[in-house]
Amino acid sequence: MGSKASAPGKAILFGEHAVVYGKPAIALAIDKRATITIKESHRDYTRIKSDDLDLEAILSPETGLKLKKGEMGILNYILKALEFYHDSTPINIKLKISIPIGAGLGSSAAVTVATIAALDNYHKRKSTLPSIARRAHRVELEVQGAASPLDTSISTHGGLIYLDKEKIEQIKGDLKDSLVIGYTRSEETAKMVKLVKERMERHPQIMNLIMDAIAHITRKARKALKSDDKECLGELMNINQGLLDAIGVNSKSLSEMIYTSREAGALGSKITGAGGGGSIIAYSHPDRTGQILESLTARGYNAMKANPSTRGVLIQ
Ligand SMILES: Nc1ncnc2c1ncn2[C@@H]1O[C@H](COP(=O)(O)OP(=O)(O)O)[C@@H](O)[C@H]1O
Ligand SMILES: C[C@@](O)(CCOP(=O)(O)O)CC(=O)O
Ligand SMILES: [Mg+2]
C-alpha cells in the first residue's frame, strides 16, 4: 500500500519578516508543487530519494542517517516530520518538486506539508488541515529555530490568505496573469531571520516602528486587493520594499531585479520571502507580464510567471 500527497509553494505579497514579530501578512499559493510518494520497503532501511534534487539518503535504526547523494538541507524537514510517527518500519519516500528550492518560494514548507499529509495517509490517520498546518509549523520551527506559521499555513490551505496571528482569512483578489517571480538562489531563511533579529536587538525602537509600518501597509493592501485597486496595491508593494531594505534583507541582485521589473512596467515589485538573495515578485497589468519576464531573463535572472493556486495540500 502506498500514499501520495502534494502541496504548493507560495509567494508572500506583504509582510515577510514582520510576520515573525506577530504582524499580519498576505501570501498566495502558487502553481508549483512538492509531491511526496511513500511506499512500503522490503529492505531493512528507509530510503529518501529525489531525482529532481539529485538526492538520496538512507536511514536505519542501527546506522542512523547516511547521505549517499546531494545535500542535507531539505532532508532535515522530512526527517523531523518522520519523528512524529514513532515508527521506524522501513519505507521508501520519493520527493518530486517543481518549486525552485531555497529561493523564497516556500519549498521547505511545501515539502514538510506534503510529507506530513502523505505519512498521515500512509498510517491511515485521519487528519484535518489545521492539524497538518500546526505540525508542519512545528517542523519548520524546530529545523530553522524561528519561523512564522505563514508558509506552512498557505501551503496547507492554498488560495490567497491574510494571516493575522494564528487567524487565517481567505481573500478574493484578482491576481491571475499578473505576477512574475524573479529568483536566484537565496541565503537560508534561518540566516536572514537571525540577521533581522540582530538588527532588532541593536535598534529596537526603530525596528519596531518599521515593523508597525509594514503592518499598516499589509492591512491597507488587504483592502486594496478586495477592491481590486491595482495602482494602490503596486504602490504599497514598493513602500514595503523600501522597508525590507531598511531591515537589512535586500541585496544588489534583488534590487536590480526590482528596478528591472519596474522599468518593464510593473505596478509594484518587491522581495518575496526571506531575501538576502532569493526572489522578487512583480505585479502588473496582465499585458505587461511578458515584457517583465523578458527583461529579467535578458539580464540573466531566472524568472517565471506565477499564478495563484486555489489548491492547498492534496492527498492523491
Ligand atoms: N539542492 C538542494 N538539495 C537539498 N536541499 C537543498 C538544496 N538547495 C537548498 N536546499 C535546502 O532547502 C531548504 C530551503 O528552505 P528555505 O531556506 O526555507 O527556502 P524556501 O523554503 O524559500 O525554498 C534549506 O534548508 C536549504 O539548505
Ligand atoms: C522571512 C519569513 O517571513 C518568510 C520566509 O519565507 P521563505 O522561507 O524565504 O520562503 C520567515 C517566516 O515567516 O517564518
Ligand atoms: Mg522555507
CATH at residue 214 = 3.30.70.890
Least confident of 59-68, 89-98, 130-139, 239-248: 59-68
Q: Are residues 76 and 216 in the same domain?
A: no
Looking at residue 160, which CATH number applies to its domain? Answer: 3.30.230.10
Q: Are residues 143 and 44 in the same domain?
A: yes
**Count of Cβ atoms closer than 10 Å to residue 69 Cβ:** 11
Q: Is the ipTM of this complex over 0.90?
A: yes
Closest CA to 50 of 34, 62, 63, 64: 34
List pocket residues of ligand 2, CB cut-off 6 Å: 16-17, 19-20, 104-106, 108, 147-148, 150-151, 189, 193, 273-274
Ligand nearest to the CA of 78: 1
- Name the pTM for this structure: 0.91
The alpha carbon dihedral of 140, 142, 143, 146 has a sign of: positive
pLDDT for 37 equals 98
pLDDT for 235 equals 98
Residue 279 Cβ contacting ligand 1 at under 6 Å: no
Q: Are residues 152 and 37 in the same domain?
A: yes
Query: Over the chain, what is the mean pLDDT?
Result: 94
Q: How many domains does the chain have?
A: 2
Q: Please report which confidence band the pLDDT of residue 190 belongs to, taking 50, 70 and 90 as the band edges.
A: confident
Enclosing domain of residue 284: 179-306
Q: Are residues 165 and 207 in the same domain?
A: no
Residues with CB under 5 A from ligand 3 (ion): 108, 189
* Domain closes at, from 124, 153, 171: 171
Angle at 242 between CA 236 and CA 245, to 5 degrees: 140
Q: Are residues 300 and 237 in the same domain?
A: yes
Q: Please report which confidence band the pLDDT of residue 286 belongs to, taking 50, 70 and 90 as the band edges.
A: very high
